[in-house]
Amino acid sequence: MEEKRIDNVQLLLIGGSAGSLEVILEVLPNLPTNLSIPVVIILHRKNFNDLLLIDLLSIKLSLPVKEAEEKEMIRPGIVYIAPADYHLLVEKDKTFSLDDSERVNYSRPSIDVTFESAADVYGPTILALLLSGASADGTEGLKAVKQNGGVCVVQDPAWAEVGYMPQQAIRHVAIDKVVNNNELKELVRSLKKE
């Protein structure tokens, strides 16, 4: 992956399911403290308290972490978490909107829904990251990111606690890079700073 494409990135999307929270907590502390792009995390979780999740990330990261709110402007340097039980979408004016429609891939929030709608707005300036999981969610979303010229990176299934989700993506999408956890840290460290 050329440096140039990483320099172009205006939005980091992260999708994760079973076994991904540990990776997020391990990798994201490497984000630059003066990061100049927003980060949006779509995490499947069952009955895991949202406030607890935000607290957990806030402790580990020096960047502000918050739940994405409907109609909120997407601002650089902030780590947004998709709220439980809603799909999170991105509007053309770079605000969030929420949707409580049917589950997609048995999930709400669904990674596909956010990735697809973000791809529609941010086009080639997206870096999308798919992590560990037992779900098929994320594959269609990465397809959309790819079609719109964005960069797709997945966690090496061998390194993932549950390899199914990244495996599905690798099988169906021309992934730009498959990374282990150390390479993932390098990657987030290299993201654009102020």
Q: How many CB atoms lie within 10 A of CB 44?
A: 26
Q: Which residues pair with 13 in a beta bridge?
A: 40, 128
Give the whole-angstrom CA distance, residue 191 versus residue 10.
9
Asked if 82 interacts with another protein (CB under 8 A), we say: no
Q: If DSSP codes are grouped into helix, strand and coil, which group holds residue 50?
A: helix
Which region among 37-45, 74-82, 93-101, 173-181 touches another protein (by CB under 8 A)?
Answer: 93-101
Pick the stretch among 13-21, 36-44, 97-105, 124-132 that binds another protein (CB under 8 A): 97-105
116 lines the binding site for another protein (CB under 8 A):
yes
Q: Which residue, 98 or 134, is less far from another protein as judged by CB?
A: 98
CA distance 181 to 184: 5
Task: Report in angstroms how near the CB of residue 58 gets to another protein at its nearest.
Answer: 20
Residue 103 Cβ, how far from another protein at the closest point, in Å? 9
Residue 17, φ and ψ in degrees, nearest 5 = -130, -140
Task: Outline where DSSP puts E strands in 22-176.
Answer: 39-43, 65-67, 79-81, 87-90, 96-99, 126-130, 151-155
Taking each helix axis from N to C end, the angle separating 50-60 and 20-27, rounded to the nearest 10 degrees, works out to 30
Q: Is 97 in the site for another protein (CB under 8 A)?
A: yes
Q: Are 112 and 73 in contact (CB under 8 A)?
A: no
Minimum Å gap between C-beta 97 and another protein is 4
Instruction: Give the Cα separation of 159 and 49 in Å (integer).
Output: 26
The stretch near another protein (CB under 8 A) out of 35-43, 52-60, 92-100, 153-161 is: 92-100
Nearer to another protein, 132 or 135 (CB): 135
> Which CB atom, from 140 or from 155, has the smaller least distance to another protein?
140
* 83 lies in the site for another protein, by CB under 8 A: yes
Residues in touch with another protein (CB under 8 A): 69-71, 83, 86-87, 89-92, 97-102, 113, 116-117, 120-121, 140, 143-144, 147
